[in-house]
Structure 1
């Protein structure tokens, strides 16, 4: 009898073990998710995670295998404990994350989690019997890694470098980010510790422009081909269409539906031109109308592309007490101190054959009445030809040889003007003054050989040296006018960031769209919207 009992016990054990094991659908032996959740309580011991379990999981889900190393590191950091279950079942944060993943379009991301259909089953009112606790756990963690990479990190550093972006990119800790999100789930909506503040400004405008697209108010402006320019006082149906567009974009507070070009429309035109980098006058030319007629989907695409650029920037870059940022497409320099804009200046940047490099550095010293050490490339491509035509070219242009290098002496002919700002640069790029001030009023200002010419360079010098009592204003002016090169070493280096944003939202929440002078948006869009990115 005793042997019979033992036999029956052994038979039941083997039968129950076999019934629990389903290699096609389960990562480890465990009760199904549906069976366990039906009891409303969860014993997290049923969630079994180790490196072997993770490896088996990615064999079942190969399309997300690229997340394996990050997911393994995440669990190793958390000592292989469950993230997504407590004694009540799946934690509420999982539902919030699931909702955000389903709304990635709001973040300018045309992406879809590879196993979204499986994750949908987890959050279905009747959970699938084919998904185990461990599968659920690892699917949710994979979805988290996917979401964090897309929203907080962006495309890979290698691809960023390939497209010529050398500003420092941020390091993202998936474990640290998760810890902060679990502690404060509201950070899913806005997390300026992880994302550059401009990102959220662009996200808000993206929502606005998509709404404009949906309601069909972005209508084509039809102009008379014989009319090259509209001026105040003109009357035309085209004027009424322009008024409608400016009211749609917020450049006008209201649409009076008038076809007359009067004072209210003049102010709207000035707003439009200010936002888009045009000279501030009241004329409306065919080029302005052509700009207005760019399809709204192009503007939406530009916003999405620039949101991606924001993902690469470490927010702490703009937390410095003072810093300088130059945006190449807007031809603008901004000097910030204590969070306030102290100076804004027009700049020249490199032309298409001499593109200004996108990178970050720190200004270490200023040079007043600087020599211009002429790059060898310019000597070879320009000056040698000039010398062949005119043997007195060097004397006429205040140039001289110095240690086998050609340089131009300080003075009114020197293209560096009265001051230059030096920072480490592999490309020998720096900021400097310019004696040719009238060109700064041009709408297109990509004229330089790569360096950045600053219209208000002299004013910037005074501001930077405000906290250097040994450099009072009269000493600075004297050094600028002396004709003798003088160096001023800063007590504290000033960060300088040279970036590339074809859209930008200012402090008044107005968006600007700038010409993509180096044709970089399309290349980035290809990377962002490709099948690999999804």
Structure 2
């Protein structure tokens, strides 16, 4: 037996073929071929429990190496899909299409066929999983990326594939989200820019402002024209058109839109096409990690954008600024998905033990009355007299007390918190530190997400269950009592981290890599074989 490079196999002697072959092939020889094939499949799948289980359950029947148009279509569809892996930012070397095709051409015996059958199933299952749910393990790259990715087994993919149109099935494995499709389009555009040589010379450092003129202004103008932020112009001064273009760039990159090209703005303007392309490829992998079902209504917190949004049926219906965790090893906000179950109006702040022992205990040792606005309680919840305790006798491990800040306008959580109970003790909440929302980079918290407009956020959530959500909210708030308000319908919460995305209007946006996580992901992608591609025309 042999396989041609064009994927047209000579028939494998399966049970379905035997009836028409009995006139020329002795039954004993045909049965021997079937047995040899099955043995080869069993041998090749040994140690791979999911693939092995699939073939045991289907009686070692072929998915790829059988006779007829159906098998030919499967082989052709697989080769086509693998050949386009790089379009999705996947490493082509991971699937080794040329090696697989060479192996197909070199298969001459029934045993070769059986070994090839399993090899094709393995590469198919790897590709199917990779393009649907990503191939990197988030937590292995950064401890803050605690997202749990729901991956499926090879047997499930193979069973589905057998019952489906092969080309359509493989095409529909990638995420169906508007964001994923938009990122693919953005990737292609950047690849064309890369092939064309990029956006031209960078702009030398030093602030540029309206009224300035000279060579640096011309370089700034030319780069913004190349990026598509302004029409062609011969002006050598920082005029109104250039100021407007700078503001548009700043808005698209999460910068303060003052129309002045300061150091931070110039740093982003000078980033290369290759840098932006890396961010998009990372964003594609991140999009694959997210749940397929985000929820018709869900909350989306993009850490790099310092924003929190409510999304209804794919459309942003509410958005507010946010503050995320400080960029230190113990305070960075994690990435994960959960479900918001309730809000607490007039919340107490139960101080996390890590904050008690690291920040407050050292001060209590020097002054028992430090942070007097916090109640210290024992294991039974009884208030402790600070002056009756020698705090110097306790270490960070032996400190036996809890600390609580009662409800009030100066409470660290403000006047409302939004709970999606999780093992990371992360939630969304109000804050008395309103001045922080005016900052461009808003990484100041201990890890939780602070909201600039928490009341309006609450109204939007309560609108699904209260006829007058604002009056309901303030009626509870005005009691001054800590009150839990359940959400009759839980709302999925997705805390993400995107340095590249496309907004509702189709406009690309880029953000700074606040925690350096995307740089780590790109390193992992690059080590796996992902490369930047320049596409002509």
Work out whether the TM-score is over 0.5: yes
Is 1:290 aligned with 2:260? no
Cα deviation for residue 523 of structure 1 reads: 2.5
Shift of residue 284, structure 1, vs aligned partner = 0.7
Q: Which residue of 1 aligns with 2:224?
A: 246
TM-score with structure 1 length normalisation? 0.80
Give deviations 1:481-508, integer Å, cap 9, x for gaps: 4432222122222221212222222222
Q: Secondary structure at the match of 2:489?
A: strand
Q: Deviations over 1:382-426 (max 9, x none)?
A: 33455567665445xx33234243222322322211111122121
1:477 matched to 2:474? The reply is yes
Query: Are 2:428 and 1:431 equivalent residues in the alignment?
Result: yes
- Greater mean deviation of Cα atoms: 320-329 or 376-385: 376-385
Report the equivalent of 2:30.
Answer: none
Q: Aligned residue for 2:484? A: 487
The answer to which of 455-464 and 90-99 deviates more is 90-99
Question: Match for residue 20 of structure 2?
Answer: none
Q: 2 CA distance for matches of 1:505 and 1:236?
A: 34
Note if contact 1:40-1:88 (Cα within 8 Å) is conserved in structure 2. Answer: no
Q: Distance in 2 between matches of 1:199 and 1:76?
A: 36
1:410 correspondence with 2:392: no
Residue 180 of structure 1: how far off its partner (Å): 5.3
Tell me if the contact between 1:167 and 1:497 (Cα under 8 Å) persists in the aligned partners: no
1:416 match: secondary structure: coil
Instruction: Give 1:53-452 correspondences, 5 Å limit.
Output: 53-57=40-44, 68-76=48-56, 78-84=58-64, 85-88=66-69, 90-113=71-94, 116-121=97-102, 127-128=105-106, 130=108, 132-155=112-135, 157=137, 160=140, 163-177=143-157, 179=160, 182-183=164-165, 185-191=167-173, 194=175, 196-223=177-204, 225=205, 228-252=206-230, 254-316=231-293, 318=294, 320-353=295-328, 354-387=331-364, 393-395=370-372, 398-402=373-377, 403=381, 404-452=401-449
Deviation at 1:531, TM superposition (A): 4.9
CA distance in 2, matches of 1:471, 1:387: 46
**C-alpha separation in 2, matches of 1:306 and 1:489:** 34
Cα distance change on mapping 1:452 and 1:37 into 2, 3 Å? closer
Match of 2:301, SS state, is strand
Alignment check: 8 A CA contact 2:147 2:335 kept: yes
Give, in whole Å, the separation in 1 of the partners of 2:67 and 2:297: 46
For structure 2, list consecutive stretches of 5 or more residues without a partner in the other structure: 18-32, 382-400, 532-537
Work out whether residues 212 and 248 of structure 1, in 8 Å CA contact, stay in contact via their aligned partners in 2.
no
**Distance in 2 of aligned mates of 1:44 and 1:159:** 45
More off after superposition, 206-215 vs 230-239: 230-239
Distance in 1, Cα, partners of 2:139 & 2:263: 38
Q: Which runs of 5+ in 1 are unaligned?
A: 1-30, 59-64
> How far off is 1:326 after superposition?
1.0
Instruction: Please report how far the alpha carbon of residue 348 of structure 1 lies from its aligned counterpart in structure 2 after TM superposition.
Output: 0.8
CA contact (8 A) 2:138 2:146 kept: no
Q: CA deviation at 1:467?
A: 2.8
Name the SS for the 1:493 alignment partner. strand
Change (3 A) 1:240 1:481: farther
On the 8 A contact 1:324/1:334 being kept in 2, the answer is yes
Alignment RMSD:
3.4
Change (3 A) 1:508 1:140: same
Q: CA deviation at 1:438?
A: 2.4
* Cα separation, 2, equivalents of 1:362 and 1:455: 21
Contact kept? 1:35, 1:129, Cα under 8 Å: no
Residues 336 and 70 (structure 1), Cα distance of their counterparts in 2 relative to 1, 3 Å cut:
same
On the 8 A contact 1:372/1:416 being kept in 2, the answer is yes
| Offset, 1:528 | 2.4
- How many Å separate the matches in 1 of 2:193 and 2:256? 27
Tell me which moved more, 467-476 or 401-410: 467-476
State the distance in 1 between where 2:361 and 2:6 align: 83
SS in 2 for 1:164: coil
Change (3 A) 1:529 1:292: same
Question: Aligned equivalents of 1:391 and 1:347: distance in 2?
Answer: 34
TM-superposition CA deviations, 1:499-526 (whole Å, max 9, x none): 2222222222322222222221232233
Residues 86, 364 of structure 1: alpha-carbon distance in 2 compared, 3 angstrom cutoff: same
- Partner of 1:144: helix, strand, or coil? helix
- In 2, the alpha carbon distance for the partners of 1:297 and 1:483 equals 54
| Cα distance change, pair 476–372 in 1 and its aligned pair in 2 (3 A) | same
| Partners of 1:394 and 1:163 in 2: CA distance | 32
Q: Evaluate the alpha carbon distance shift between residue 157 and residue 512 of structure 1 in structure 2; reply closer, same or farther with a 3 A threshold.
A: same
Q: Mean Cα displacement is larger for which, 505-514 or 275-284?
A: 505-514
Structure 1 residues 91 and 492: CA distance shift in structure 2, 3 A: same
Deviation at 1:351, TM superposition (A): 0.8
**Alpha carbons 1:329, 1:517 under 8 Å: kept:** yes
- Tell me the distance in 2 between the aligned counterparts of 1:89 and 1:418: 63
Per the normalisation by structure 2, the TM-score is: 0.80
Would the aligned equivalents of 2:144 and 2:332 in 1 still touch at CA under 8 Å?
no
Distance 1:413 1:384, change over 3 A: same
Verify the 8 A CA contact 1:44 1:87 in the aligned structure 2.
no
1:101 positional shift? 1.5
Residues 292-301 or 446-455, more deviating: 292-301
Structure 1 CA distance, aligned partners of 2:147 and 2:122? Answer: 29
Displacement, 1:432?
0.5
